[in-house]
Amino acid sequence: MNGKKERHERRLFERRSVSAVVRYAPRLIAGHVPSDLMEGRALNLSRSGVALELDHYLRPGGMVEMAMMRLTPMFCVNLVGRVVRSNPIPATVGPSRKGGRDPRYEVALEFARVLTLPEVEEFERNAAGQTASGVGPSAAFG
């Protein structure tokens, strides 16, 4: 078998495209969470983890507390996850407005608990442009 096939077979839950805002903070020493939350967006979601696009590198193996939310209608899930990988997104690596480099990162988190199927479906519904109120996705999700 090739490596790609083997990786696919290890997945317990299907990935789904989602549109959600994520506010997160890395856990520091003794589980302390900083008061300033950082923001990113979810790229895809399964019951056991999420792929995120973030402005910051997160150390693999580190723990993160996050709130993943849909704004219209409001739905939020608070989660704790372990960073599996954190890689720069190639298209974002380049000169920034400040003359340095401001890459964005694709970060994979594995959740400390498995999400319920209804929780995943709430976020998937928004990605499809259908919400319970019948209104399309919020402009906040770009």
The Cα 77–Cα 119 span in angstroms is 8
Percent of the chain with pLDDT over 70: 67
Residue 137 has pLDDT above 50, yes or no: no
Domains and CATH numbers, the chain: 11-135 (2.40.10.220)
Residue 137: cis peptide before it, omega within 30 degrees of 0: no
Work out the end-to-end distance of the chain between its first and last CA atoms, rounded to an integer number of angstroms: 39
**Arithmetic mean of pLDDT over the chain:** 76
Q: Are 26 and 40 in contact (CB under 8 A)?
A: no
Residue 100 has pLDDT above 90, yes or no: no
Residue 86 has pLDDT above 90, yes or no: yes
pLDDT score at 135: 33
Residue 114: pLDDT band (50, 70, 90) is very high
Give pLDDT tens digits for 15-66: 888 878 898 888 765 555 556 788 999 999 999 999 999 988 899 999 999 9
pLDDT score at 79: 92
The Cα 54–Cα 41 span in angstroms is 7
